[in-house]
Amino acid sequence: MKKYFGNFFLFLLIFIMISSSVSFASEDILDLEGEGALLIDYNSNRILYEKNSNKKMFPASTTKIMTAILAIELGNMEDVVEIDEEVISLTEGSHIALDYDEKMKFEDLLNGLMVASANDAALAIAKQVSGSIDDFVKLMNDKAKELGAVNTNFVNPNGLHDDNHYTTPYDLFLISKYAMQNEIFREYASKTKYTIPPTNKKSEERLLHTTNKFLYGNARMDMDGKTIPIRYDGIKGIKTGTTPEAKNCLVSYAERGDKTMMSIVLKSEKKQVYADTYKLLDYGFNNFNDIILGHSNEFIGNLDIKNGSLPYASTVLNRDVYYTLKADEIKRVEKNSKFRDEITLPISKGDVLGSAEYYLDGNLIAKEDIVSTIDVNSVPGNNLIKFLLDKWYIVIIVLLLLIRSFILLRKRKNRRRSYSKYV
């Protein structure tokens, strides 16, 4: 998979995110430790809770979400990568003990990146994909801008601290949602363990365990004075991050029934990052539901058609319309149907004739096409009459010219008769 997804998809995705995100925000206080937080319904892109969601902060190893998606899109899993001195010398923090001149499959490095959050694997991937770390970082920043993450700047592929290496909770959501559209990335984001086979430098296997405590184990944590298991039902990934400056960071994706939530917590404290995420996800799952606002083929109305083979076109809603709402918000949703000002004949079944817009407290939350259920053809006779009525001044000019021509013709005939009398 060496190509980017189509630009059309990206622009559409960003447009939907921007146009349909209505924030529920901070009227419900969750008492989070993290300095930045965001909870978004994955399907509708509605912001359900936010705290400093546009503040620039250090992402730590959540940076590797971008590294991984570029590796998947541009790399070859079967490539054998030879580790050079630069990778070893720049490695700090978490690693998978890559050695000088060690040869390892690209796929194994990607598992090291996502499962063990290995900084040396990130550097090796960057060099393999782009030829140099700097060139790979440029790709990261270009991709961030392409996704609308305009308040993000990457300096390295692993997230080690640099004052100029930053993102925001909302930007990190844009990057993470894009990554989670990719099935291969989703697989890596949810792995709990992986075994790297022996290499030319290591005679033993390397067993890797995920850094994400939400995914495995029986560890427990304190939340509001109660000791509960850290493991969270429905979690499918995606990435942890920790540095002294960024503190503890966590991007999470969870599914329960027909609901899917994404949460981002930045700059929290140790296990408290899990407690923060636990509160966010519980808040989303317990308080919001996907409500159907309109049904596919729901009758909208008969649209009057002038000069057509039929006097009207019957219209319906093109698709089901869902949005994530609290129970007390459902009655506050208003629907407004708008038809196009000019309808051009002929009309075919399925042609878009307008749109149904749904508003919550005056804010647009959803929009769907209104389409025709029938064919309506134009009638030639009616079109001629319409043309004559619309262009009356042209008709008058033509009539005047015809009358003038007729008068001139009569005069010529009279002259000829007078001349013939005297010949």
Partners of 275 in beta bridges: none
CA distance 45 to 51: 16
296 and 283: one domain?
no
Task: List the one residue out of 294, 175, 302 whose CA is nearest residue 239.
Answer: 175
Structural domain boundaries, residue 55: 7-287
CA distance 240 to 210: 9
Whole-number percent of the chain with pLDDT over 70 = 87
Kindly report, residue by residue over 406-419, the tens digit of the pLDDT: 787 777 766 665 55
Taking residue 295's Cβ as centre, other Cβ atoms within 10 Å add up to: 12
Amino acid at 147: L
Amino acid at 138: K
Kindly report, residue by residue over 114-154, the tens digit of the pLDDT: 999 999 999 999 999 999 999 999 999 999 999 999 999 99
The arithmetic mean of pLDDT across residues 21-27, rounded, is 45
Amino acid at 281: L
262 within a domain of the structure (yes/no): yes
Kindly report, residue by residue over 304-346, the tens digit of the pLDDT: 998 888 899 999 999 999 999 999 999 999 999 999 988 889 9
pLDDT of 23 strictly over 90: no
Give the dihedral of Cα atoms 114, 116, 121, 125; nearest 10 deg. Answer: -10
262 and 344: one domain?
no
Amino acid at 127: K
283 and 299: one domain?
no
Question: Of 287, 311, 331, which residue is a domain's last?
Answer: 287
200 and 267: one domain?
yes
Kindly report, residue by residue over 392-407, the tens digit of the pLDDT: 667 677 777 778 777 8
66 and 168: one domain?
yes
Q: pTM higher than 0.95 for the full model? A: no
Banded pLDDT at 381 (limits 50, 70, 90): low
281 and 307: one domain?
no
pLDDT at residue 71 in the model: 98
**Helix, strand or coil, per DSSP, at residue 208:** strand
Q: % helix / strand / coil in the chain, to the nearest 5?
A: 35, 30, 35
CA distance 195 to 206: 6
